[in-house]
Each structure stands twice: as C-alpha cells, then as structure tokens.
Amino acid sequence: MELEVVRFSSESDSTNGILFDSSNKLDGKKFLCYTLEDEERKSKVKGETRIPNGRYKIKVRKVGGFHSKYKKRLGSTHRGMLHVVDGPGSEYILIHCGNTDEHTAGCLLVGDSQENNQIITNGFIGKSTQAYKRVYDYIMKAIEDGEEVNITYIDFNKPCSPISC
C-alpha cells in the first residue's frame, strides 16, 4: 500500500494536508481523510516539528503510552499504533487522533473535517476519532494481509527540487 500526505497549507504553527491511498495507479488517488501536523522548521525542535518530506515505512508499534491508552479506549479493535519509522531526527511518529497542533508532537493527526490554518493558527481538524477508526482499519488490514505499507509526505504549496519531492 502506498499512502500520500499532500501538505497544502504550511503555516507558522501548523500544517494542513490530505491523506490519500495512491496504490492503484489506474484509478488514481483515493481520498482517505484530512491531516494536521506541526509546522516545518529548519532546525528540529522536539515535539514541535513535522516529519520532513520523504517516503517512510509504516509499522505497528505495540508498546508505549499511546498504545496503552488506545487499547483501553478502543478495546480489541486496537491492535497497535500505526508508526511512521525512520524519519530523520524523528522518533515515535504515530498516526493518531487529535484536534489541534497542540495534540501532536510531530505526529500525523487525522480527521473528517478541517479548518483553514491561515485563520486558526493552531489549525483544527474535526471528527478525528471517526476518521481514525476508519483509516486505522483500512491500513491495518493491509499490514495484517502482509502488505508493505509506505507513506510519502509531499509539500504541494511550495516549490521543490527533484531531490525534495
């Protein structure tokens, strides 16, 4: 499975995007949900900087505070956290619920509605739990079926070189 986060609004305190499944090249990209992340920074600030553009693997993480919290909250439907691995200078980048950039420490928040982060500085993503459950099941099914799952982060709203896109 090939996922893409298309970042379309990179502002001073948050980044708005859209998550697609781009696995099926013939049918085009399948919209999954809206995303919200921390802002981009030239120098990483722990817990306040989004993951750099690039392609990363998604693995399942079955330890840690988020795993315990989601296991308690979601019961048997939770089978581990979706973990974006090998981000340069980034550890424990997860896909999870949340509403503003205050709810992420570099992770990818998902939701079914989104506010303009040019107006609301911290950004806002709504119906996060609803989107998370749907997207989680979709991605976990691929992982449990033995598929390799990758996610590519792309900045759509600013120029890039062939190396950075």
> Which region, left, alpha or beta, applies to residue 86 given φ > 0 means left and ψ of -120 to 50 means alpha?
left
CA pair distance 143, 138, nearest whole angstrom: 9
The residue among 45, 35, 28 whose CA lies nearest residue 9 is: 35
Mean pLDDT of 115-119: 94
Once rounded to an integer, what is the mean pLDDT over residues 4-21?
A: 96
- In the structure, what pLDDT confidence band is assigned to residue 137 with cuts at 50, 70 and 90? very high
| Counts of helices then strands in the chain (DSSP H, E) | 2, 10
**Ranges of H-type helices in 34-155:** 65-74, 128-144
Backbone angles phi, psi at 19, to 5 degrees: -100, 125
Average pLDDT of every residue of the chain: 92
pLDDT of residue 159: 56
pLDDT in tens, 32-60: 999 999 999 888 888 888 999 999 999 99
**Cα–Cα distance for residue pair 105/51, rounded to 1 Å:** 10
Residue at 30: amino acid letter: K
Dihedral (CA of 49, 12, 7, 133) sign: positive
Global pTM? 0.91
Q: Burial letters for 51-61: b for 16+ Cβ neighbours within 10 Å, e otherwise?
A: bebeebebbeb
Domain range list for the chain:
2-155
Question: Which residues are CB-contacts of 44 (< 8 A; sequence separation ≥ 6)?
Answer: 89, 90
CA dist 79 and 74 (Å) reads 9
